[in-house]
Amino acid sequence: MSRFLRCLTLVAGMTSIAQGQGAGAARPTVGRSMVTTRLGIVASSSPLAAKAGTQVLEMGGNAVDAAIAANAVIALTEPSGDGIGGDLFAIIYDAKSGQLHGLNAAGWAPRALTADVLRAKGQTAVRGIHSVTVPGAVAGWDAMRRKFGSLGFAQLLAPAIYYAEEGFPVTEQVARMWGRAVDRLDDNAYTKATFLLDGTRAPTEGEVFRNPDLARTFRRIAERGRDGFYTGPVAEAIVRLSKEEGGLMELDDLRELEAEWVTPISTTYRGWTVYELPAPTQGIAALMMLNLMEQAPLGDWGFHSARSLHYMIEAKKLAYADMLKYTADPRFTKVPTAAMLDKKAAAERARQIDPARAACTVTPATYQSVAGLQGSETIYLTVVDKDGNMVSLIQSIYSEFGSALTAPGTGVLLHNRGSLFSLDPASVNVLAGRKRPLHTIIPAFMEKDGTRISFGIMGGWNQSQAHAQFVSNIADYGMTIQQALEAGRFSKNSFDGCDVNIESLVPAGVIDQLKASGHQVTTVGPRSGTFGWGQAVQRGPSGVNFGASEPRHDGAAIPQGAPIRKP
């Protein structure tokens, strides 16, 4: 077969994959093309992180090695949403076995911290130092590397160590987030010294920032693996900070944490199998949304039609109500996962959707400790290598700059993931020692007929609904992964009421129709952080890889370079 015919065959195959049920539907006008290569791709919201990942691929590392290297760099370059003081989740596709593996690297509350303890202090919510659960990210790196990695931590962390010591220019979006958090960063002396230039201000776009303390922490991890974080000087600094702030964390809480390998949960949608991680993440809500959306002919109704958007918004309300009612750490409560994903149950529940009118209240009711929290600072990255191994990885410190508390001498900003615990003894998510809180961050994966897509879209409670919209864009409307990421979105971050944010990429006439149906719409300008930002990679039966990164952030999908051979 000639090269020309091979190219035609590849394009035809890609088109048939993309088309799905809604091939004739309108599609969004995109600002970027997909990256295409037979070698690996790393897609990240930080171009420096994506480049670090591709460098590892070029050194002979695999997708897992590249994901760890990229995550370490973005833990430095995007401190508003990421860092090793937070948690990590991943879905890993092992090409050799054809198996998917889920990783839960979420930390737990200190053993001594309970709802009773905080209620006795007169507290009504989990805040401040008590919201700092044990960070799980480094335990996640360790588990990933031991099971699938091919390189050592010294090689994987070398790019992050370089940037932490030599500095990096702060990007546009990160500078904007940094600038609006100065008041929070000023509250803690260690944080102020680490993250404010001259102790007074945030770096501006293009200004060089260094974190030498974090470089030393990375070096300890490079030398000692997980023990470089969970024992020794770093662990002691975290406990010291906790004591100074009135917290209850002990060295045992850090030393005894291990990441857990879990089985991803899944559902089918228009012939695709879609995977998320089980409790304590919100991933089940994306699958429940899809089961509800499957009851309606969205492809026939049309992309960004008022009927389609109305139905999806109403499906979101029902799915989230159930998720919030039942999802918690499965080591502490029985989560009825199978019942929540039952197709017959979804068909019955879909009958509650009024095709003409928005519902402002759905059952079961949400618990008040979660409603209204708007934490959304997260990073998502994804990797595919030349052999077809894929990593879907998400990492976060929860709120913007997490707890805004930094462990002295480490450069590590600690997350506030414990804010999602409840103090209500009737809640499945009630705070308890060594319990993991309900988690917003979720990686995702989907496959059909030999085509696999690793994807994620960050942004607090936006994530499940954004995942469902991404899947629908591909399965219902025949979009490419780049189009599916750039398409306008809706986002409803409250759990009651008819309010919903809709991106102005949706036609104004459609928004007017939604308002007439009872939706209280706030129209938000295009490409804002309200709707999160994501990445995706795809591999089909031909062995060609595609990468996408949306323009709502500073990110990029960067291909692995070809090996340089001597002439």
pLDDT of residue 377: 65
Is 60 exceeded by the pLDDT of residue 15? Answer: no
Least confident of 233-247, 351-365, 536-550: 351-365
**460 within 8 A of 375, measured Cβ to Cβ:** yes
Confidence tier at 529 by pLDDT (50, 70, 90): confident
| Percentage, residues of the chain above pLDDT 70 | 93
Q: How far apart are CA 61 and CA 548, in angstroms?
A: 21
Spatial CB neighbours of 344, under 8 Å, sequence gap ≥ 6: none
Spatial CB neighbours of 73, under 8 Å, sequence gap ≥ 6: 46, 48, 49, 52, 159, 160, 163
Beta-strand ranges (E) seen in 189-245 are 208-209
Least confident of 9-18, 24-33, 134-143, 308-317: 9-18
pLDDT of residue 564: 77
Give the H/E segment covering residue 77. helix 63-77
Written in H, E and C, the secondary structure of 119-175 is HHCCCCCCCHHHHCCCCCHHHHHHHHHHHHCCCCHHHHCHHHHHHHHHCEECCHHHH
Closest by Cα among 43, 37, 33, 39 to 537: 43
Catalytic residue among 378, 406, 440, 451: 378
Tens of pLDDT, residue by residue over 218-228, are 999 999 999 99
What is the rounded average pLDDT of the residues 53-69? 98
**What pTM was computed for the model?**
0.93
Catalytic residue list contains 378: yes
Q: How far apart are CA 265 and CA 288, in angstroms?
A: 11
What is the rounded average pLDDT of the residues 354-374? 64
Could you name the CATH architecture of 24-37+262-275+286-371+469-559?
A: Orthogonal Bundle (1.10)
What is the rounded average pLDDT of the residues 340-355? 94
For the chain, the average pLDDT equals 92
Spatial CB neighbours of 532, under 8 Å, sequence gap ≥ 6: 376, 457, 458, 459, 460, 462, 463, 466, 489, 491, 552
pLDDT of residue 530: 86
Confidence tier at 69 by pLDDT (50, 70, 90): very high
Tens of pLDDT, residue by residue over 19-30, are 344 444 577 888
pLDDT of residue 346: 95
Q: How far apart are CA 415 and CA 108, in angstroms?
A: 12
pLDDT of residue 390: 99
Count of residues making up the chain:
567
pLDDT of residue 366: 33
Is 50 exceeded by the pLDDT of residue 562? Answer: yes
Domain segments of the chain as ranges: 24-37+262-275+286-371+469-559, 44-259+374-420
Closest by Cα among 103, 176, 171, 173 to 140: 103
Closest by Cα among 287, 353, 274, 356 to 320: 287
Spatial CB neighbours of 38, under 8 Å, sequence gap ≥ 6: 386, 543, 544, 545
What is the rounded average pLDDT of the residues 89-118? 98
What is the rounded average pLDDT of the residues 155-175? 97
Spatial CB neighbours of 6, under 8 Å, sequence gap ≥ 6: none
Closest by Cα among 554, 411, 472, 546 to 47: 554
Spatial CB neighbours of 556, under 8 Å, sequence gap ≥ 6: 43, 44, 47, 50, 549
Closest by Cα among 472, 452, 291, 322 to 383: 452
Q: How far apart are CA 282 and CA 340, in angstroms?
A: 12
Give me the helix-helix angle, 47-58 and 63-77, nearest 10°.
150
Give me the helix-helix angle, 283-293 and 462-475, nearest 10°.
40
pLDDT of residue 364: 59
pLDDT of residue 145: 98
The β-bridge partners of 201 are 197
Tens of pLDDT, residue by residue over 250-279, are 999 999 999 999 999 999 999 999 999 999
**480 within 8 A of 548, measured Cβ to Cβ:** yes
Is 50 exceeded by the pLDDT of residue 369? Answer: no
What is the rounded average pLDDT of the residues 427-442? 96
- SS3 breakdown of the chain: % helix, strand, coil, rounded to 5? 40, 20, 40
Q: What is the DSSP letter of 433?
A: T
Confidence tier at 553 by pLDDT (50, 70, 90): confident
Helix spans in 328-423 (H): 337-340, 343-350
Spatial CB neighbours of 319, under 8 Å, sequence gap ≥ 6: 285, 286, 288, 289, 292, 464
Is 50 exceeded by the pLDDT of residue 475? Answer: yes
CA distances 340 to 160, 273, 281, 492, 516, Å, are 41, 17, 14, 21, 32
| Percentage, residues of the chain above pLDDT 90 | 86
Q: Who has greater pLDDT, 11 or 466?
A: 466
What angle (nearest 5°) sits at the alpha carbon of residue 166, between those of residues 160 and 168? 70
